[in-house]
Structure 1
Amino acid sequence: METISPISQPRTTQRISPYDAQQNFAGMLKDSINEVNNAQINSDDMTNKLIKGEKVELHDVMIASQKASISLSLTMQVRNKAVEAYQEIMRMPV
């Protein structure tokens, strides 16, 4: 019996409409921003628990704080690159 390797099988590309692509991108962006927001809320909650003397480990608080900080920093860098790309496109002659 002859087996067909995955490399020799033809690839099918699925085309999506510009509207669907826009909706997919918008959904992905919204989900990413919600994740950043949740990380910030989690960090705040853990910090408040530590301040109140509740049972929470200091290293867990610091890790949550750093995760929130890094995710916010990444989000700002992505935003900056998107703004730069938009400005570059607007400068293009028609």
Structure 2
Amino acid sequence: MSVGPIPPIGSGAVPPPAPGGAEAAAPQGGEDFGHLVLRGLEAVSEAEREADALIQAMASGQPVQPHQVLIATSKAELSVQMLVAIRDKALEAYQQVMNLQI
């Protein structure tokens, strides 16, 4: 049983870095990080507005199903918890970068 040689890695295996630094790293047509964060904040805000509107409607005697209020408030609560967790992770990453020794 003979073992053949390991073939060399071709020059096209790893694409060269794009010129332009971090701006070129974003995919074409994709959103940048700031827009993604803004969209996430808007989604959390919308979930809170929806829950508040249902709570006010129920308190004022309008015909609202209790399970709709519960679902909306739970969705808003989970959205805020996720937002806080993301903020904590981002802050932790920032602190780690700032503590790097150069």
TM-score, normalised with respect to structure 1: 0.78
Moved over 4 A (4+): none
Given residue 49 of structure 2, which amino acid in structure 1 is its aligned partner? I
Does 2:23 correspond to 1:19? yes
Given residue 52 of structure 2, which amino acid in structure 1 is its aligned partner? D
Does 2:58 correspond to 1:54? no
TM-score, normalised with respect to structure 2: 0.72
What's the CA shift for 1:74? 0.3
Q: Residues 57, 17 of structure 1: CA spacing in aligned structure 2 closer, same or farther, 3 A cutoff?
A: farther
Does 2:51 correspond to 1:43? yes
What's the CA shift for 1:19? 2.9
Q: Which has the larger helix fraction?
A: 1
- Cα deviation digits, residues 65-84 of structure 1 (max 9, x gap): 00000000000000000000
- Cα deviation digits, residues 32-74 of structure 1 (max 9, x gap): 1000000000000000000001011000000000000000000
Distance 1:63 1:35 in 2: 16
The percentage of counterpart residues that share the same residue type is 28
Larger C-alpha radius of gyration, 1 or 2? 2
Given residue 42 of structure 1, which amino acid in structure 2 is its aligned partner? E
RMSD: 1.9
Q: Residues 58, 91 of structure 1: CA spacing in aligned structure 2 closer, same or farther, 3 A cutoff?
A: same
Distance 2:61 2:98 in 1: 53
Match of 2:84 in 1: 76
Which consecutive residues of structure 2, in runs of 5 or more, have no partner in the other structure? 1-14
Which consecutive residues of structure 1, in runs of 5 or more, have no partner in the other structure? 1-12
